[in-house]
Structure 1
Amino acid sequence: MKNYLKKVFNNNNLLYTMLSNIYHKFITFLYYLLRIFRIKSEKIVFCSYYGNGYSDNAKYIAQEIINQKLKYDMVWLLRKELINDNDIPKEIRIVKYGSLRAIYEMVTAGIWIDNARKEYYVRKRAKQYYIQTWHGTPLKKIEKDAGKKLTDNYHKNSIYDSKNINLLLSGNEYSTRILKNCFWYDGKILESGMPRNDIFYDDYNIINKKVKNILGLKNEKIIFFAPTFRNDIEKNGLNQLEELNIKSLLIEFEKYYLNDCILLVRFHPNVANKINLQELECRYGNKILNVSEYPDMQELLSISDVLITDYSSAFFDFSLLKRPIFLFMQDYDEYKEERGVYLDINDIPLYIVKSSSELLEGIKSMNEEEMIKRSEKFLEYLGNKERGVATLEVINWINKVICNG
């Protein structure tokens, strides 16, 4: 409905704002009206990135509940266009995100699990339990620390959302400090890791075989390029690839590994659907595989031999694997000014380059043992708490909540 209003009244901001406010007040009213139905303590409603797929921490929590054969009623909120195109297990009920049914499920659930902010019209009941997993270790400043880079409405919504949270997850002491300071939250933080990162402690061969099968890969060494989003739209997509000098990069990696190499590319969701795939294939042939639509980022990280990124939080997760990481930060000063960052470039012990020539030199002189030490030093700096049991810790917490419900 919100998107419909925006489309119809695109040229009349005042009317759109007025109707949008009326619509949101009506939705809020429904959250109160549907309280005539009782809370079902064993019902868990999951959501990831505002209904954009079966992914991230919530996915791994749901999967573990299935693996343990726990008799909980699980609901996954999913956008309309994904209802018939997903890999959600049959044990989970799929409900359209933003629908009347979704409101009913939210109102009557014992537990909510999400990795992003709830919409500001959502109303939580006193006996409901809200687990906020968040979606990564932050490099760029977030929430209160982002200041005017986020809208007043976002700040207002976030403050309200944080008052509803009962449990917040963290994977390291660094994240915990930031979340305590900027999240408008003074409740319990479970500092035992991110459920999505438990995959890095699972059987590598099983995951490797599964993902390579899906992607049609064989024995190539996998170089994974995962750049983040830039406000200047021209600096995204294929332009990010051009800056790397891909052909020379792959030649140097193949010299180093004495093996065929392939570059997996995952563009930021804001630009992924705007990539000209024909142009990508024309420029680079079969040496590049666009995996922007692959649903599980952690599975891609798990099979990769090398990560090249810039300011994406992916490098925090990938450091757990203790494999080579190159941070391509050619516009660090500009990005720092644009977004604000928590870590100074000099505090990051990973291999940082500021040009394609520096990157090529880094590959030529790459020492994997030294790269491992860089990751270990970085994890120590973060105060790493990941042990491969984050999901189990959350499940234990859920069991206690439901038993006491």
Structure 2
Amino acid sequence: MRERIKRLTPKAIIELYKGIRYGFITVFFYLFRIFPIRKNRIVLMNVWGFGDNVKYVTEELISRKKPYELIFICNRPENVTISKSVKIKKTNTLSAIYALATAKVWVESNRKEGYIKKRKNQYYIQLWHGGFALKKIEGDCEDYLGETYIKRAKKDSLMTNLYVSNSTYCTKMYRRAFWFTGEIAEWGSPRMDLLLSQNEKLKNQIKANLGIDKTKKVVLYAPTYRSSEDLSVYELHYDTLCSELSKKFGGEFVAIERLHPLVREQSTQLKKLGNRIDASSYKDMYELMLIADVLITDYSNTMFEFALMNRPVFLYAKDYKNYKEERGFYFDFPTLPFPIAYTEGELKDKIRHYEDSEQEVVKRFLAELEVKETGAASIKVADRIDQVIKRTYKK
């Protein structure tokens, strides 16, 4: 046996370790299911940290000061700052899987691990992390995601009691792409509550935390993830960009760069093309969107959400042809209601010739999707959790 292990490559040893650990975790998860479900225990999960839709539902539950046991699970709990009333646990640790096995309510924004199985009297709310989607997802791109992931995703949807949607468009997409026949509530996205609030005090606080004077304007560059190793697709000349934006919209612009979590570890390899604030590790993308006056992205669904604040969005997609072949889109990209540039030169030109009337085109586009954002999604999700737990105590 020792000789066989010696002949294994480092990669094979890592995979062996993962397999053994996964089996160990699975066994304990099912052992923990013998313990009774805690009627007031709520587990909230977001693998990337304290952000996205789950963050705002958690904060709403905290504000209600009810006798709930709130447990937040993520990959890096050491980076999470949250109320002391919430217990923080690391994904796939024994304490985390015990919490999952015994909680009354699960609230999630991603897919759960394959070993996790909901018990009969547990209630699972899936908030999802995508909302509007340009890129095809889940069941609409099964070949791209692979058999293993699709199998896990189908299992996750089968366990789900409630999906929360932000529009009629998304509801239809969830039905199809998530293989889901259960309840879908069109309450909006909890993370959009922040953007629609337009909290000026919070905006100034976020700017101060980033070292930005409150009188300056902000352009947020937030490209999405590509599987390609070509990092040049993320590069942008920030000084020139800010100069063009200042000429067009007035004021002095500061650039913020926000890379996808899967790209941020490679960010040190990117060329430094002008002054910008690297906010790739900033905990909450939506706080950055709140303070931004202009968004530049490529294929990210943030284009639609940012547009709901009636602020300019520019799409910079220098690798459009390759990306389209890799993933596929729900919308015909060139016909999207935003100025689209395929080179930096075109981006400058789109900024120079931008007209306020272009926002009316965006509004009509969003109206066709039948958007249901009201700024109260977090409240509605928390209300449902209250109802579920109240029903449990009546039994």
Structure 1: unaligned runs, 5 residues or longer: 1-7
Structure 2 segments unaligned to the other structure (5+ residues) = 1-6
Structure 2 CA distance for aligned equivalents of residues 18 and 255 of structure 1: 58
Task: Give the one of 251, 255, 259 matched to 1:263.
Answer: 255
Supply the distance in 1 between the matched residues of 2:64 and 2:228 (Cα, whole angstroms). Answer: 46
Match of 2:210 in 1: 215
Is 1:228 the counterpart of 2:224? The answer is yes
Among candidates 37, 42, 45, match of residue 43 of structure 2: 45
Moved more, 221-230 or 268-277: 268-277
What is the distance in 2 between the residues matched to 1:20 and 1:96? 16
Distance 1:273 1:16, change over 3 A: closer
Equivalent position of 1:135 in the other structure: 129
Deviation at 1:345, TM superposition (A): 1.8
1:333 pairs with one of 282, 299, 321: 321
Question: Kindly tell me: are residues 381 and 22 of structure 1, through their superposed partners in 2, closer, same or farther at Cα, counting changes over 3 Å?
Answer: same
2:135 is paired with a residue whose SS is coil
Provide the rounded CA distance (Å) in 2 between the counterparts of 1:203 and 1:193. 16
Change over 3 Å in CA distance of 1:9–1:206 after alignment to 2: farther
- The separation in 1 between residues aligned to 2:108 and 2:205, in whole angstroms, is 27
Name the SS of the counterpart of 1:159 in structure 2.
helix
Deviations 1:321-346 (A, max 9, x none): 01001111233232111111111124
More displaced, 302-311 or 270-279?
A: 270-279
* Residue number in structure 2 paired with 1:385: 372
Identity %: 35
Q: Does residue 293 of structure 1 match 2:281? A: yes
Measured in 1, the distance between the counterparts of 2:370 and 2:334 equals 18
Q: Secondary structure at the match of 1:43?
A: strand
TM-score (ref. length: structure 2): 0.92
Letter in 2 for 1:258: G
Partner of 1:196: 191
1:4-403 superposed matches below 5 A: 11=10, 13=12, 20-21=18-19, 23-49=21-47, 52-79=48-75, 82-136=76-130, 137-218=132-213, 219-234=215-230, 236=231, 239-242=233-236, 245-276=237-268, 280=272, 283-284=273-274, 287-367=275-355, 369-403=356-390
| SS of residue in 1 equivalent to 2:120 | coil
Number of matched residues?
Answer: 384
1:353/1:109 CA distance change after superposition, 3 Å: same
The Cα offsets for residues 65-124 of structure 1, whole Å up to 9 and x where unpaired, read as 111222211001133xx3333212111011222111111111110001111110001121
8 Å CA contact 2:49–2:79 kept in 1: the answer is no
Instruction: Name which of structure 1's ranges 288-297 and 29-38 shifts more when overlaid on structure 2.
Output: 29-38
Relative to 1, partners in 2 of residues 1:278 and 1:174: Cα closer, same or farther, differing over 3 Å? closer
CA displacement at 1:9 relative to structure 2: 5.9
Moved more, 371-380 or 208-217: 371-380
RMSD: 2.1
In structure 2, distance between residues paired with 1:156 and 1:344: 29
Report Cα offsets for 1:329-373 as digits up to 9, x if no partner. 233232111111111124422222222222111211222x31321
CA distance in 2 between counterparts of 1:60 and 1:323 reads 23
In 1, are the aligned partners of 2:334 and 2:340 still within 8 Å (CA)?
A: no
Distance 1:158 1:258, change over 3 A: closer
Q: Secondary structure of 1:264's partner? A: strand
2: distance between equivalents of 1:346 and 1:180?
26
Deviates more, 1:327-336 or 1:94-103: 327-336
Cα distance 1:41–1:349, how it changes in 2: closer, same or farther (>3 A)?
A: same
Q: Are the aligned partners of 1:327 and 1:352 in contact in 2 as well (CA < 8 Å)?
A: yes
Q: What's the TM-score, normalizing by structure 1? A: 0.89
Shift, 1:159, TM fit? 1.2
Structure 1: how far apart are the matches of 2:317 and 2:221? 13
Query: What's the offset of the Cα at 1:17?
Result: 6.0
Letter aligned with residue 188 of structure 1: E
| One-letter amino acid of the structure 1 residue matched with residue 388 of structure 2 | V
Structure 1 residue 262, shift from structure 2 partner: 1.1
